[in-house]
């Protein structure tokens, strides 16, 4: 175990125990490693950044005709062009030196072998095990977890097949036409994004719906659009206690029971659970045979590969769900086996760190030129910002440098007519990821040629800019250029390559988190708001304001009074 591993208490030697004497052994804790900005590699990057800030990409391309080829990586038809970045070979060498100094390769091995790198929750981080072959061995606390993973996958296949082929029937013996996934956070964003991304592969009979917001409008508008006799609800909650999810689940349950005159036998025919809390699932009325579990080493925002992916399996079929897992596993292998200087997640992670820490870039834009990927920016917002949006490292030390960036985005070309103005001519440096599929499953006129022409034009414009001379001497039309971007291309946006792309971003987040010294796999900042919301809810009946600050107290009184007045109308 390396010096960065969490120290465990060491029991006394057998000799001390046999002597009958009570001895106390002082365990000397290994001091934490230096922070990344205390390392010489960080200082070298800072000095190099000052030089590169006066370097324009136009000159880098002019001086190196092979730049567009040299700075590109192809992994099984997944192509990444990272040539349009403010960097040179020296930049990459220095960044890789920092990665090695921070033991990136060691932390990578710990994650894949099941060490408990989620140190604040004492958990392994093994979403990668969910897409590994059955014959592999991955141990957690001495147990090989792969038999469990594949047992659940087998049950998911049987269940999803039965819904798709019509053998799963509702309470009145009708086929399922609508599936409603009720979850929030990772139990919603991942499956929703993938189902939308792979909509061309969706089952013709089955419509997918996703309900997450506790705002009653979300569940109410969904229920208005479906038939209780042909609807299957999937309740996605690890603990089966998530406030928003269970509120929506109870509303759906009441709606169903109202249709069936209160006959609770209908619940087992119209509800399944993606959870680990069997007693709570049974209390709800769901047959435990229709509960699909996963382990605590699967974080919510990394859980679409687990039972949480059931809506994906129902929508596109289990064989294609398996292809999604296989694509992710292919990226896992690349991440583990490729040298750092030719490693796609490593390169993208290091370039993101380069701009965040040495160029002051606060944001990153995710720009999919694929309408089916319209939920990708929202999915990656959670994956990245909930993972690395932290100021304290895994040793409890406050950091002196910025970490996770703000992620935002919109499908192209919509974004071009919305926020690209800021990216092109604004004061902020905003690195961009352009994502596109060379083929299309919607060959309408010349639409796809127009789309791809734009995905080629925008990175070029960001890089080159436009001079005063080329702008007709009008300073309003000057673009400085030198705005960095990456272009990610696939031949076909199919399940396999989508799996590769999602895993690519997972590992990019890991790379940055490990170098920054973070634990990307907890989310304590999310918890406080939940606690305080329960506190306010508990005050509702008595209008109790003791202990609230004056602003919250006045807002609470106003909301409660007017809410009650509206309810009485």
Locate all alpha helices (DSSP H) within 19-84, ordered by sequence: 40-52, 57-63, 67-70
| 483 Cα distance to chain centroid | 25
Question: Which of the 8 DSSP states describes residue 20?
Answer: -
Contact in structure between 182 and 220 (CB atoms under 8 Å): no
List Cα–Cα distances, 52 to 55, 59, 352, 482, in angstroms.
5, 12, 15, 11
CA distance 268 to 257: 11
Bridge partners of residue 268, in order along the sequence = none
Q: Let me know: does 174 contact 201? Beta carbons within 8 Å.
A: no
**406 C-beta neighbours (distance < 10 Å), count:** 14
SS3 per residue for 447-460: HHHHHHHHHHHHHH
Long-range pairs for 129-137: beta carbons < 8 A, 24 or more residues apart: 129/297, 130/298, 130/305, 130/306, 130/325, 131/305, 131/325, 131/326, 131/328, 131/329, 131/332, 131/499, 131/503, 132/329, 132/332, 133/329
The contacts of residue 460 (CB under 8 Å, 6+ apart) are none
Answer yes or no: are the C-beta atoms of 117 and 521 closer than 8 Å.
yes
Cis preceding-peptide flag for 163 (omega within 30 of 0):
no
- Residue 94, preceding peptide bond in cis (omega within 30° of 0): no
> CA 198 to CA 194: how far, in whole Å?
6
Measured CA to CA, the distance from residue 397 to residue 399 in angstroms comes to: 6
The phi-psi region of residue 498 (left if phi > 0; otherwise alpha if psi is between -120 and 50; otherwise beta) is: alpha
Residue 99 backbone phi and psi in degrees, to 5: -60, -45
Residue that has been written with the tokens 């996605």 in this structure: 236
Which residues carry out catalysis? 386, 417, 530
């Amino acid at each position: 175990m390396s010096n960065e591993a969490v120290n465990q208490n060491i029991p006394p030697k057998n000799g001390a125990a046999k002597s009958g004497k009570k001895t106390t052994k002082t365990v000397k804790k290994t001091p934490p490693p230096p922070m990344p900005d205390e390392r010489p590699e960080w200082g070298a990057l800072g000095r190099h950044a000052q030089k590169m800030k006066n370097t324009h990409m136009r000159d880098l391309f002019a001086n190196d005709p092979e730049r567009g080829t040299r700075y590109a990586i192809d992994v099984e038809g997944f192509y990444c062009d990272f040539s349009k970045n403010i960097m040179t070979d020296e930049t990459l060498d220095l960044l890789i030196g920092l990665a090695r100094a921070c033991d990136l390769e060691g932390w990578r091995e710990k994650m894949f072998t099941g060490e408990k790198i989620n140190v604040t929750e004492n958990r392994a981080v093994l979403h990668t095990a969910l897409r590994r072959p059955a014959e592999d061995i991955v141990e957690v606390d001495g147990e090989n977890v792969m038999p469990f993973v594949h047992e659940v996958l087998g049950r998911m296949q049987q269940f999803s097949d039965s819904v798709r082929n019509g053998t799963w029937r509702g309470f009145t013996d009708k086929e399922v036409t609508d599936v409603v996934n009720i979850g929030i956070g990772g139990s919603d964003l991942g499956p929703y994004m993938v189902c939308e991304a792979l909509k061309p592969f969706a089952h013709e009979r089955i419509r997918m719906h996703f309900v997450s917001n506790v705002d009653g409008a979300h569940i109410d508008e969904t229920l208005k659009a479906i038939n209780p006799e042909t609807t299957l609800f999937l309740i996605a909650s690890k603990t089966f206690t998530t406030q928003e999810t269970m509120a929506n689940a109870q509303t759906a349950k009441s709606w169903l029971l109202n249709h069936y005159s209160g006959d609770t036998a209908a619940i087992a025919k119209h509800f399944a659970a993606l959870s680990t809390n069997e007693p709570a699932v049974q209390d709800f009325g769901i047959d435990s045979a229709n509960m699909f579990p996963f382990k605590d080493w699967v974080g919510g925002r990394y859980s679409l590969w687990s039972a949480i992916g059931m809506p994906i399996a129902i929508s596109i079929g289990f064989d294609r769900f398996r292809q999604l897992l296989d694509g992710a596993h292919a990226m896992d292998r690349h991440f583990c086996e490729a040298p750092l200087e030719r490693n796609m997640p490593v390169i993208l992670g290091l370039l993101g760190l380069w701009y965040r820490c040495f160029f002051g870039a606060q944001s990153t834009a995710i720009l999919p030129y694929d309408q089916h990927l319209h939920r990708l920016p929202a999915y990656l917002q959670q994956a990245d910002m909930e993972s690395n949006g932290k100021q304290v490292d895994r040793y409890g030390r406050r950091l002196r440098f910025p970490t996770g960036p703000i992620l935002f985005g919109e499908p192209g070309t919509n974004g071009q007519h919305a926020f690209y103005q800021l990216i092109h001519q604004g004061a902020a440096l905003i690195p961009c990821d352009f994502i596109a599929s060379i083929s299309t499953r919607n060959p309408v006129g010349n639409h796809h040629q127009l789309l791809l022409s734009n995905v080629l034009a925008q990175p070029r414009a960001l890089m080159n800019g436009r001079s005063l001379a080329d702008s007709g001497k009008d300073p309003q039309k000057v673009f400085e250029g030198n705005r960095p971007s990456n272009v990610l291309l696939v031949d076909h946006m199919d399940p396999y390559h989508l799996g590769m792309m999602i895993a690519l971003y997972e590992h990019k987040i890991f790379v940055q988190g490990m170098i920054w010294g973070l634990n990307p796999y907890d989310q304590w900042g999310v918890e406080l708001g939940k606690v305080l919301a329960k506190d306010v809810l508990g005050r509702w009946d008595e209008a109790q304001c003791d202990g609230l600050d004056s602003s919250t107290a006045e807002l609470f009184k106003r909301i409660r009074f007017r809410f009650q007045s509206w309810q009485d109308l």
